[in-house]
Structure 1
Amino acid sequence: MAKYRKYILTGVIVFLALLLLILQFWRYLNNPWTRDGKVQADIIQVTPRVTGQVVELPIKNNQFIKAGELLFQIDPRIYEAALEEAKAEYEEALDTYRAQNKNVLAYEARIRESIANIDLAKSNIGALDAEVARTKAEYDRQRELLPQRATSVRALQAAQAEYESTIEYRAGAEASLVESMAALEQSQAELEQVRAQLGALGADNPGVRAAYALVEQARLNLEYTTVVAPVSGYVTNIDFRYGDQAVANQPALSVVDISTFRIDGFFRETFVRRIAPGDKAFMKLMAYPHLELEGYVESIGWGIARKDGTAGNDLLPMVNPTFDWIRLAQRIPVRIHLTEVPEAVKLRVGFTSSVLVMSNSAGTEQDEPVQSQ
């Protein structure tokens, strides 16, 4: 009996193994899969914005660093001096603006004074016109009375002198009016000239704005001497050493963003029609063959580059003829969003992965991006 029990147990084990093998084969037969998968992540190129000697380098290649931590420090002294110079030029621009503004105020005061003088001269002319009319009437009356011996020659002469004096006063008032009007025109012209030199008033003054912009630029350049990590991740490809000259707009190192780890699977085009965004996906890394990662399809590529397709005559693509009997299916990239990564797995960009997508499994809950431990 024990002998038969042994055979039965062996048969059950073999049956279960075959069943698992069949289920696994059915799984791969009915769901798209590929062995051409790669671990990917966003690689941030860190590029200095200013040029200068590296005076502090606290990091090393492949070191983990948090967002905002110091990557390297460029010598700030020349930029500190540039900031102080810009501040001095800004103060000078303010002083020039204030001086020109005082000139504007002075010319405006002169204009007000000229207007007041004009009003006074016009008022005096009005009063003198009445006085001229009165003295002329008196002078004419005295001339009419003299033949009648109703007045004296002395009274006539006095009336004549008063009349002529009043006319002279009026002429002087007119001259004063003309002079005040000329002074007004000159002050207005000079005011326009000073205003043109001054420009807009207050914060809109172009000279002040230009000087302030230089201060802000100098302040930014000084801030750019401190280069910090834009994201949390791993430092890689440090292309300089302490004391080297960092050059503006030339990449100095890269940071692998740990919040963007994903897997790009390249599926045969015959599989793509059975893949949809949101479908569950299971991955196995070559580095960790006994651990399974979970995720879902985030997106499917819409195009790949042609190997033969450069422009030829008439700007038409040149495609080499092929006489192969077997046509190879193209591979389309499918981005897999990772939702669960075992703690033992340390993701690295470039790892090889096998990917299995469960068709028609979309609609499940989608988690936030995972980070490599």
Structure 2
Amino acid sequence: MENTSNNPRKGKLVVRIIFILILVVGAIFGIKTWMYARHHETTDNAQVEGHAAPVIARVSGYVKALDVQDYGNVKLGDTLLTIDDAEYKIALQQAEADYQQAQADLLSAQASLGNSQANLRVAETNAQVALVHKNKAAADLKRDQNLFNDQAITNRQLDDTKAASMSYDKQYQSSLDQIDLAKSAISVTSTKIGQAQAILASKAALVEQARLKLTYTHITANITGKIGKKMLEAGQYVQAGQSLFTIVDDKGFYIVANFKETQLAHIFLGQEAEIEIDSYPGLVLKGKVADISRATGAKFSLLPPDNATGNFVKIVQRVPVKIIIENADQYMDKLRSGLSVDVALKY
């Protein structure tokens, strides 16, 4: 017959052995965890970040055509959407017409300047002729005065000579006035040419502006990547400066880990990092610290804390640390902007 008195002893022995094994395993696990913690700074306050470029309308209008889909792939320079360009074409035509009118005004002013210069040359020639006549008349008057003094001519003849001399004096003075008028006309016309040139430059700038606005009706991708959520449809009216959607660069992912300020003593540039993505348990990525923020995350908040107030509670701050993923191209199918990760930095 079996001795049942030994069974409780065996049961207690098994329990003790199991308890001891648990203690040993726990001790080993605790020691390994402690050893790991001694040489690593860890945080679960981290996420995947990526470069995102907003697509913004630069002119207002109704969406004529939309060439993108939700989360669709686009390449740099691809047409994303087209805004109705009818009014912008008309504005360009009007600007070009104004430019042509300004060109005509400039040509007219330049022609007037040519006429004024020709008039000046004619007036100068007339003045030279008038001066010759004036000098001859003055010489005739001097000669006739001497003849009259010798009683060789009559008083009437002398008066005729005086009248002729005075007439030529007036003609010469009139020719000088014509020269002044021609010079004044040249000055006025030159000023008009300067004004016409300035107006022409202004109209040319308006043409370029209208042409540029016309190009803005065709919105293209500014980077290569994936479209985010599309909240836009054909026929919808958009305003200049309105953000339409976002393109996420699918090749520029990195990690931003927010470490406590008490951990910064063991964090440095180039430090090796181990990255575990919550979405893929067991997958460990390698990386290196690329940069450390010069300010805590709280400083970038909408209402940063002000410790100068009377009520002050000391809170451990977080400092963003940028980590570059090594061989990131191998994990492009798994990386998504905003995913939560765990980061460990070895020191």
**Given the alignment of the two structures, is residue 331 of structure 1 paired with residue 331 of structure 2, yes or no?**
no
Residues 139 and 349 of structure 1: CA distance in aligned 2, closer, same or farther (over 3 Å): same
Residues 238-249 of structure 1 mapped to structure 2, 5 A cutoff: 238-249=230-241
Going from structure 1 to structure 2, the CA distance change for 1:269 and 1:173 (only over 3 Å counts) comes to: same
Once the two structures are TM-superposed, the CA of residue 136 in structure 1 deviates from its matched residue by: 2.8
Q: Percent identity?
A: 24
Structure 1 match to 2:20:
none
1:58-69 matched pairs, under 5 angstroms:
58-69=67-78
List per-residue Cα deviations over 1:42-90 (Å, max 9, x = no partner).
Answer: 2221111111111111111111111110111111122112111111111
Structure-2 change in CA distance of 1:342 and 1:213 (3 Å): closer
Residue 230 of structure 1 pairs with residue 225 of structure 2: no
Task: Report the Cα distance in structure 2 between the residues aligned to 1:244 and 1:309, rounded to whole angstroms.
Answer: 38
- Does residue 283 of structure 2 align to residue 291 of structure 1? yes
Q: Aligned partners of 1:295, 1:319: CA distance in 2, in Å? A: 43
> Which residue among 144, 153, 156 is the counterpart of 2:153?
156
In structure 1, how many angstroms separate the alpha carbons of the residues matched to 2:161 and 2:310?
A: 109
Cα distance, 1:117 vs structure 2: 2.1
Unpaired segments of 5 or more residues in structure 1? 1-14, 144-154, 360-373
1:157-306 matched pairs, under 5 angstroms: 157=154, 163-200=158-195, 205-304=197-296, 305=298
What is the letter of the counterpart of residue 330 of structure 2? E
CA contact (8 A) 1:28 1:356 kept: no
Local SS of the residue matching 1:109 = helix
Q: Secondary structure at the match of 1:234?
A: strand
Separation in 2, partners of 1:126, 1:296: 101
- Name the residue aligned to 2:309: 318
Give the whole-Å Cα distance in 2 for the aligned partners of 1:219 and 1:107: 38
- Post-superposition shift, 1:118? 2.2
CA distance in 2, matches of 1:181, 1:254: 75
Deviates more, 1:59-68 or 1:338-347: 338-347
Q: Aligned-residue CA RMSD in angstroms?
A: 2.8
Answering whether residue 346 of structure 2 is matched by residue 358 of structure 1, we say yes
Distance in 2 between residues matched to 1:20 and 1:195, nearest whole Å: 95
SS in 2 for 1:318: coil
Q: What's the counterpart of residue 9 of structure 1?
A: none
Change (3 A) 1:234 1:156: same
Partners of 1:309 and 1:237 in 2: CA distance? 30
- Identify if the C-alpha distance between structure 1 residues 288 and 341 changes in structure 2 by more than 3 Å, giving closer, same or farther: farther
Q: Is the 8 A contact 1:55 1:74 kept in 2?
A: yes
Distance 1:174 1:339, change over 3 A: farther
> Aligned ranges for residues 39-58 of structure 1 at < 5 Å?
39-58=48-67
C-alpha change, 1:209 and 1:169, in structure 2 (3 Å) is same
**Aligned-partner residue type, residue 333 of structure 1:** P
Number of aligned residue pairs: 318
For each residue in 1:330-359, what CA deviation from the matched residue of structure 2 results, as whole angstroms up to 9, or x when unmatched? 211101122322624432111011112233
Equivalent residue number for residue 33 of structure 1? 42
In the TM superposition, what is the alpha-carbon distance from 1:176 to its structure 2 partner?
Answer: 1.1
User: 1-side partners of 2:265 and 2:68: how far apart?
Assistant: 47
2: CA distance, partners of 1:43 / 1:175: 85
1:130 to 130, 139, 142: 139
Residue 109 of structure 1 aligns with an amino acid whose one-letter code is: A
Report which stretch shifted further, 107-116 or 163-172: 163-172
Distance 1:165 1:335, change over 3 A: same
Aligned equivalents of 1:321, 1:262: Cα separation in 2: 35
Paired residue type of 1:97: L
Q: Can you list the C-alpha shifts for 1:227-283, whole angstroms capped at 9, x where unaligned?
A: 001111111132210111122111111111234321100111111122222223221
Please report how far the alpha carbon of residue 27 of structure 1 lies from its aligned counterpart in structure 2 after TM superposition.
Answer: 4.1
Residue identity matched to 1:318: T
Q: Deviations over 1:174-196 (max 9, x none)?
A: 11122122223333334333333
Partner of 2:16: none
Give, in whole Å, the separation in 2 of the partners of 1:52 and 1:265. Answer: 42
Unpaired segments ≥5 residues, structure 2: 1-23
For residues 207 and 292 of structure 1, the distance between their equivalents in structure 2, rounded to whole angstroms, comes to 67
Change in Cα spacing, 1:163 to 1:72, as seen in structure 2 (3 Å) is: same
Q: Confirm or deny that 1:109 pairs with 2:118.
A: yes
Contact 2:251 2:329 in 1 (8 A): no
Query: Is this contact kept in 1: 2:292–2:320, CA < 8 A?
Result: yes
Q: Tell me, in whole angstroms, the C-alpha distance in 2 between the residues paired with 1:25 and 1:112.
A: 105
